[in-house]
Amino acid sequence: MKHISRIIIALLLIAMVLPMAVSCANTDQPSETTLPPDTATPSGDAQTTEPEDTLFAPSDIPSDLRFDGETVKILYWDDVPNVEFFVEDQNGEAVNDAIYRRNLNVEAQFGITLEYSGTPGDNGDQANFVSACINSTQAGTDAYDVFAGYSMTGATVATHGIVHDLTEYDIMEFDKPWWPKSLIDKATVNGGVYFASGDISTNYLYMMYMCAFNKDMLNDVHQIAPSVLYDHVYEGEWTLDKFVEYTKGVYNDQDGDGKATEADRYGMTATLVHWDAFFTGSDLKTVELNSDGELEMSADLFSQKTVDLLEKVCNLFYVSGDAEIEKGVTLFAPGNSLFLIERAFITSSKLSDTDFSYGILPTPKFDANQEGYRTCLSFPYTMYMVSTASSIPETAAATIELMAYQSYLHVTPALFEESMKLRYADQSDDAFMFDYIRDAVVIDVGRLFTTELDKMSYSIFRDAIKKNSPGGYLGTQKAYDRTFKNNIDDINESLKKLK
How far does CA 466 lie from the centroid of its chain?
24
pLDDT at 105: 97
> For 345-360, how does the pLDDT look when each residue is reduced to its tens digit (9 = 90+)?
998 889 888 999 999 9
pLDDT, tens digit, 9 for 90 and up, residues 449-497: 999 999 999 999 999 999 999 999 999 999 999 999 999 999 988 888 7
One domain for residues 182 and 216? no
Q: Clarify whether residues 336 and 384 are in a common domain.
A: no
> Which residues are CB-contacts of 386 (< 8 A; sequence separation ≥ 6)?
145, 146, 147, 163, 164, 166, 169, 393, 396, 397, 400
Q: Output Rg (C-alpha) for the chain, integer angstroms.
A: 23
Residue 35 lies in a domain: yes
Q: Is residue 3 part of a domain?
A: no
Q: What is the DSSP string of 438-455?
A: HHTB---HHHHTTTTTTT
Q: CA–CA separation, 454 vs 425, rounded Å?
A: 43
With bands split at pLDDT 50, 70 and 90, how would you rate the model's confidence at 297? very high
| Full 3-state SS string of 390-416 | CCCHHHHHHHHHHHHHHHHHHHHHHHH
| Residue 342 belongs to some domain of the structure | yes
Same domain for 370 and 385, yes or no, is no
Predicted pLDDT of residue 438: 86
* 69 lies in the same domain as 150: yes
Is 91 contained in some domain? yes
* pLDDT at residue 135 greater than cutoff 90: yes
Q: CA 335 to CA 266: how far, in whole Å?
A: 10
Asked if 170 and 401 count as a contact pair (C-beta separation under 8 A), the reply is: no
pLDDT greater than 80 at residue 444: yes
pLDDT score at 293: 79
348, 311: one domain: yes
Q: Are residues 126 and 139 in the same domain?
A: yes
Claim to verify: residue 142 and residue 163 sit in the same structural domain: yes
240 within some domain: yes
Do 321 and 412 reside in the same domain of the chain? no
Which residues span the domain enclosing 336? 209-376+437-485
Examine the pLDDT at 50 and tell me if it is beyond 70: no
323 and 402 inside one domain? no
Interval 381-426: pLDDT, tens: 999 999 999 999 999 999 999 999 999 999 988 887 776 554 333 3
Residue 432 belongs to some domain of the structure: no
Over residues 206-264, the pLDDT tens digits come to: 999 999 999 999 999 999 999 999 999 999 999 999 999 999 999 999 999 999 999 99
Q: For residues 340 and 473, state if they share a domain.
A: yes
253 and 147 in one domain? Answer: no
Q: What global pTM score does this model have?
A: 0.85
CATH of the domain at 194: 3.40.190.10
Classify residue 495: in a domain, yes or no: no
152/213 same-domain check: no
Q: Indicate the number of domains in the chain.
A: 2
Contact assessment for residue 163 and residue 386, using Cβ atoms and an 8 Å cutoff: yes
343 part of a folded domain: yes
Nearest to 365 by CA among 357, 374, 356: 374
